[in-house]
Amino acid sequence: MIKFKNVTKIFKSDLLTQPFVALDDVSFNVPAGSMVGFLGANGAGKTTSLKIIMDFIRPTSGEVEFNKELLGHNKMEVFKNIGFLPERPYFYPHLTGEEFVLYMGQISEVPKSRILDEIKKWAPRFKIDHALGRELKTYSKGMLQRIGFMATIIHSPKLIILDEPLSGLDPIGRKELKDVIVEVHKEGKTVFFSSHIVPDIEEICDRVIFLKEGKLVYDGSVNTLLHSSKEQDFIVLLGNTQSKNLTTETISKVLLPDGLVRYTVSSLNKDKLLSEAIASECNIYSLEMIKPSLEEIFYNTQGSK
């Protein structure tokens, strides 16, 4: 749906300040119909990338290509097929929730009758139907996030771009909003959202894009990334009686209530432990690889030089 092609963005403030390279020759792909998470620490270039996609700012070099499904006669036609929710949206405080969503739908030239039908459909799903008649200045952070998301999808866009949509929400609010994101995606929409809440991306995304200090670190399947760790530890369950005298170096050894011993062992020592257990006629009950979480991979990546 989107192709970033060798995009570089350099910010220059004045003659005495060094230019800041926000994006450095970044290329990535957001496939049509996918749910893609956009990860990176603060200052990695995520928001800059989203602003370039939305044409709020222009790249210093490189270009962004849109899928032919989004193409129209001009940029206005393209952006009618995109729904965008910024990290810090502005809400007109004296409009009610319904008035705000109506206004946003009419900007995209959606007939009023269709907007009202969409409000009836989505307001209960966002659990915001009880507050549609209230002014936005009375809304909480979570309620504003919900009404903003509803306004983002009210014109049935093919591509939905969200900048930190789950930021500032409590766990229940995040769960409810994630459920709606998944529901929207199941309707065939392409969803591309940035987040610093890594487990949320691991839970609902099929692809992930990593940025670090303006450079692309990874663009691909979540599962591929989870299985790409070079060093993976293993858990081996052995019978307690026979395993007392094993000498292989292990990371940990835990005696379980059911008379088994759980060994945590590195990949380098796994085969040695199993060979020694077989030679000692130990009962081997299970062997399990410990898979790192996306959060562990992310923070290891951020910490590496």
**What domains does the chain contain, in order, with CATH numbers?**
2-226 (3.40.50.300), 234-289 (3.30.70)
pLDDT of residue 250: 86
- Give this prediction's pTM: 0.75
Region 123-149: what's the mean pLDDT? Answer: 92
Q: What share of the chain is helix, strand, coil (3-state, %, to 5)?
A: 35, 25, 40
Provide the angle, in degrees to the nearest 10, between the axes of the packed helices 112-122 and 141-153. 130
Question: What percent of the chain is modeled with pLDDT above 70?
Answer: 89
Closest C-alpha among 269, 261, 267, 272 to residue 289:
267
Q: What are the tens digits of pLDDT across the range 101-123?
A: 999 999 888 999 999 999 999 99
Q: In sequence order, what are the beta bridge partners of 211?
A: 216
Least trusted range by pLDDT, from 94-103, 115-124, 269-278 = 269-278
Q: What is the dihedral of CA 243, 245, 246, 251, to 10 degrees?
A: 90
| pLDDT score recorded for residue 293 | 63
Decide if pLDDT at 72 tops 70: no
Segment 64-84 mean pLDDT: 77
pLDDT at position 71:
66
Residue 282 and residue 269: Cα distance in Å, rounded?
17
Q: pLDDT, tens digit, for every residue of 227-244?
A: 665 567 888 988 876 666
Sign of CA dihedral 218, 224, 230, 234: positive
17, pLDDT greater than 90: no
